[in-house]
Amino acid sequence: MVSGLGIGVALGVVLWSALEDLLPFPLDLLVGMGIGLLIGYRLGKQPPPMLMRYPPGVMQRILIALADFVLGLFGYLYLLDLDLTNTQKQLSSLLAILPAIVLLFMLGSATGQLDEMQRRIQTEGIAIAFAGTAIVVGVFALLGMAGIPAPNWSLLLVIMTFMWGVGKLWTMWRYK
Amino acid sequence: MKNQLKVLRAERDWSQAKLAELLDVSRQTVNAIETGKYDPSLPLAFKIAALFQMKIEEIFDPENDLN
């Protein structure tokens, strides 16, 4: 329930941001938060999918950390829009990484509680993500030398997460 | 590596979930061991042997791994 609420608030902020140009304030906030909380409530009531085999308490902590991470990112973007000095902006950038560290710590701690085969699946998934991300970085570097502008580096985070998921699914399929 | 886990489990009329619970691992892990897709660690192999009150080599057969 708590994790559903956390995810709901995070989703609500994302949806609110997406609806900002379409609906007037405070309708965008109400609709965004309403849909987000509804989805979060439904997610919180369902048992975790088979792909996520962490114990429920651990899964709850991960989801809350994930919601904090999303909220932290939006808070950071909000701060950047304010009239801050350069030092304050740099400090905000560094503070925004704290929820990401907490999220990684939660994931690491959760992995430690898995059984030996699941730990192997996670480790191989991370190894595949590492190798895949290295290839993507290499491609971007080569394209950069050919004159193509470098992409937004935050895209790497998305690519790494996607590769982790693919690596995990691939390894799970091997042991199925 | 071949093993007798499925036979031993069937003899006791245990489900994979029941065996997983007794070994404190996931059902997915029990299934992977039974189908020979995953070889358990030494501590888990000892745990399995202790549960069935047998020796490790009576449950797990290295086949030709040593040749």
A4-8, A50-54, A81-85, A168-172 — most confident range = A168-172
How far is it, in rounded angstroms, from Cα A124 to Cα B40? 16
Closest CA–CA distance from residue A25 to any residue of chain B (Å): 49
Q: What is the pLDDT of residues A31-42, one digit of tens each?
A: 877 887 787 777
Out of B24, B29, B40, closest to residue A118 by CB: B29
pTM for the predicted model, two decimal places: 0.67
Nearest CA-CA partner of A12 in A38, A31, A36: A36
Count of residues in chain A: 176
What ipTM describes this predicted complex? 0.83
Q: Which residues from B are below 8 Å from A114, CB to CB?
A: 26
pLDDT of B45: 95
B56 near A CB under 8 A: no
Peptide bond into A149 cis (omega under 30): no
Q: What pLDDT, in 10s, does the model give residues A108-137?
A: 888 888 889 989 998 999 999 999 999 988
The predicted structure's pLDDT at residue B35: 92
Determine contact: A92 vs chain B, CB below 8 A. Answer: no
The answer to whether B30 touches B23, Cβ cutoff 8 Å, is: yes
CB–CB of A167/A124 below 8 Å?
Answer: yes
**By the 8 A CB rule, do B64 and B49 touch?**
no
Q: What's the pLDDT band for B65 if we cut at 50, 70, 90? A: low
Per-residue pLDDT, B23:
94
Q: What is the DSSP string of A78-136?
A: HHHHS---HHHHHHHHHHTTHHHHHHHHHHHHHHHTS-HHHHHHHHHHHHHHHHHHHHH
Average of per-residue pLDDT values in chain A: 81
> Between the CA of residue A166 and those of A45, A117, A175, B1, B34, what are the distances in Å?
26, 17, 15, 27, 25
**Pairwise CB contact (< 8 Å): A115 & B37:** no
Band of residue A68 on the pLDDT scale cut at 50, 70, 90: confident
Of A109 and A46, the one with more pLDDT: A109
> What pLDDT sits at residue A2?
60
- Answer whether residue A92 shows pLDDT above 80: yes
SS3 A21: coil
Which pLDDT band, with edges at 50, 70 and 90, does A46 fall under? Answer: low
In this prediction, residue B4 has a pLDDT band, given cuts at 50, 70 and 90, of very high
Q: What is the pLDDT of residue A3?
A: 61
The dihedrals phi and psi of A97, each to the nearest 5 degrees, come to -80, -15
Greatest pairwise CA separation for chain A in angstroms: 55
Question: Chain B contact for A116, CB < 8 A?
Answer: yes
User: Shortest CB distance from B26 goes to which of A53, A174, A176?
Assistant: A53
Q: Do B32 and A175 touch (CB under 8 A)?
A: yes
Cα(A134)–Cα(A116) distance, integer angstroms: 27
Interchain proximity B37–A176, CB inside 8 Å = yes
